[in-house]
Amino acid sequence: MQMKPYRIGTRGSPLALAQAHETRARLMAAHGMPEEAFEIVVLSSKGDRITDRPLSEIGGKGLFTEELEEQLSDGRLDIAVHSSKDMATTLPEGLGIIAYLEREDPRDAFISPAAARLVDLPQNAVVGSSSLRRQALIRRLRPDISVIMFRGLVDTRLRKLADGDVHATLLAYAGLKRLGKAEVVTELLDPESFPPAPGQGAICIEARLDDALVAELIAPIDHAGTHAALLCERAFLGVLDGSCRTPIAGHATISGDRLAFFGLILTPDGTVSHEVRHEGLASEAAAMGAAAGAEARAKAGPGFFETWS
């Protein structure tokens, strides 16, 4: 029996804390355990501390997980809770994603006082976004729009928008819902024309792969459909690099025992894109995602990826 509290590691942003509290609440409900059986441990990440430069310039996705993974590896944490889209495709030795909570709505949210829809923004409007995927998709839809780097917490970005720094911004709808801010959304973007980032909307739990006690603790809150979808999406990412330097979109949906995947890769300016679609058994999710990634690479040809460097 574990006598001390299970230690749940998280970043300190309001959204990260909401995700950690959701994980704790699900574990309490699944096992009939009291709140004091779990301790939420807040760590500051480099990705949170450095907000004046694009992630691609300062080290990529690992900047959001490095401190958490260090304490997970040496046993100071039992699990770490992350936004799945922040996770690198290659994790530190001995660590792995062991569960995914049921996915929230994966769509992107357009937020603007200047137009009811993204496509209706005024000519030469300015949109703030730190995501290369969103930047490329915006440019594909509206080449006249100027997209500027826009990092920081959700409230920071919304304040910059209210102050008139930009005409619009885009955020993950799932994050806004978890923060109780769904009412700020102007338009929810169609995942066919504006596909989400792989992993968007899904909370994942990382742990030591040799910790059988933690695996048993977490198993009841793992959502099978979300897990299969994310295996597919992360395999697609893995074949295509999947760093913060690359505009990649991918979304898998589950219906019964079937999985359907839609993937898209773009040049950063949005002028060239290649899409792939795969369908098959959900039990073959990872293989399907890898096959989709290989197909996208073949369609694009080697010269296409030089634009990502």
Active centre residues (catalytic) = 86
Q: How many CB atoms lie within 10 A of CB 182?
A: 14
Which 3-state string (H, E, C) describes 50-68?
CCCCCHHHHCHHHHHCHHH
CA distance between the termini of the chain: 50
State the Cα angle at 47 between 102 and 239, rounded to 5°: 60
Tokens of 170: 């885009």
CA nearest 103: which of 172, 177, 203, 20? 203
Question: Which of 177, 184, 216, 173 minimizes the C-alpha distance to 85?
Answer: 173
Pairing of strands 146-148, 108-111: unpaired
């806004």: which residue's tokens? 176
- Which residues make Cβ contacts (< 8 Å) with residue 290, sequence separation at least 6? 235, 236, 238, 239
